[in-house]
């Protein structure tokens, strides 16, 4: 059975109709080649006291990469996600998320992303293989 990917506005990360969601909003740069978003993580998403849970950071990076592929005209789902954590992120501090396409081969869209503090410190970097559907 083929995957049906209807946007019902309830995505956990970006859905405006998800009452429990993050409601992330995206901007495109460089003619749509880059996608950015800023997110201030609330305390409910902490792991250790005052530190953003790594799963939340991976989720944010996954979403910004999917949006980078989508804004470039590709309809995708995540096939593989690799995340490298570099520095802890603090709750209630803005994170700048940035993603861009690296290339496309057959049915795979390669994307990279980063999450940084306002001072430019890299919190995490990610790479994904997004599968065309």
pLDDT reported for residue 74: 93
User: Which residues touch 55 (CB under 8 Å, ≥6 apart)?
Assistant: none
Residue 3: what pLDDT? 56
* Beta-carbon-side half-sphere exposure of residue 85 (alpha carbons within 13 Å): 13
Number of helices (H), then strands (E), in the chain: 1, 6
Q: Which two tokens stand for residue 46?
A: 């902490």
**Cα–Cα–Cα angle for 121, 126, 127, rounded to 5 degrees:** 145
Please state the pTM of the whole predicted model: 0.93
pLDDT for 1: 40
**Domain spanning 27-132, CATH architecture:** Roll (3.10)
* Domain boundaries along the sequence of the chain: 27-132
Per-residue pLDDT of the chain (133 residues; tens, 9 = 90+): 455 666 778 899 998 999 999 999 999 988 777 999 999 999 999 999 999 999 999 999 999 999 999 999 999 999 999 999 999 999 999 999 999 999 999 999 999 999 999 999 999 999 999 999 9
- Residue position matching structure tokens 């592929």: 69
Place of tokens 């990076």: 61
């Amino acid at each position: 059975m083929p995957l049906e990917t209807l946007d019902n506005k309830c995505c956990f990360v970006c859905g405006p109709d998800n009452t429990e969601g993050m409601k992330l909003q995206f901007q495109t740069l460089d003619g749509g080649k880059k996608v950015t978003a800023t997110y201030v993580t609330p305390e409910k998403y902490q792991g250790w006291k005052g530190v953003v849970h790594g799963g939340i950071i991976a989720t944010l990076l996954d979403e910004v990469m999917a949006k980078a592929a989508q804004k470039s005209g590709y309809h995708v789902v995540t096939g593989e996600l690799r995340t490298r954590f570099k520095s802890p992120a603090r709750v209630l501090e803005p994170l700048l998320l940035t993603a861009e396409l690296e290339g496309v081969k057959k049915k795979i869209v390669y994307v990279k992303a980063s999450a940084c503090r306002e001072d430019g410190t890299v919190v995490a970097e990610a790479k994904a293989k997004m599968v065309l559907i």
